[in-house]
Every structure is written in structure tokens, then in C-alpha cells.
Amino acid sequence: MIKIIGLFILTALTEILGCYFVYIYLKKAASTWCLTLAALSLMAFAWLLTLHPEASGRIYATYGGIYIVVSLIWLRVVDNVKLSSFDFVGAAIILLGTAIIISGWRAP
């Protein structure tokens, strides 16, 4: 389970990074190398998706929850935006929902 969650986190980071490089290119007039890095990151994201246990609603719902939490961490660490109590409560609710979904993976 830890390995799968690590894969979700890595997948989320490559997706966010790919989009972030495009953002930097468009909004901050960065080098065209940002577009190359964006393409490589998004290709890695697509490849990482193929490593997930299966293509199903539960897997994607779980990934979505992890993605949201990783996005909030990115917002704080990379963009240096102070998170609000709403962010923390929302993340906690999302993680609870994600944990409930994960518990259904093994249910009949």
C-alpha cells in the first residue's frame, strides 16, 4: 500500500510540474526549455499512470485525493502561499475520503 501511495505522489508531482513549466513559460516569459521540460514531465506522468494497479474509478478517485493534497503542499512549498484553515480542513476531509475509498479496494 505504501508503494502505491508513493506512486500516486510521484504521479501527482510529474503532472503538477508539467503544468507548472507551461505556466512559467507563459506568465514569466521563461525560456522555451520550459516547454521541453513540460513535455517531458507530462510524458513521465502518462507513463506513471500505466504503472498504477489498474484503470478504475477507485484508483482514479484515490489518485485525485492524493493529487489535491500534493497540490496544496506545492502551493505552500513552491509558491510560498500560506495555507488557510480551510485548506487544512479540506485536505483532512479529502484524505479521510481517500482512506475510505482505499479500504474498499479489498472489500468484496
Residue 107, pLDDT > 60, answer no
Cell, residue 26: 507563459
Average pLDDT over residues 43-61: 84
Cell, residue 97: 475520503
Q: What confidence score (pLDDT) does residue 106 get? A: 66
Q: Lowest-confidence range among 6-10, 45-49, 59-63, 97-101?
A: 59-63
**Domain assignments of the chain as residue spans, ordered by start:** 2-103
Residue 83, pLDDT > 80, answer yes
pLDDT band at 51 (very low <50, low <70, confident <90, very high): confident
- Regarding predicted confidence, which is higher, 98 or 88? 88
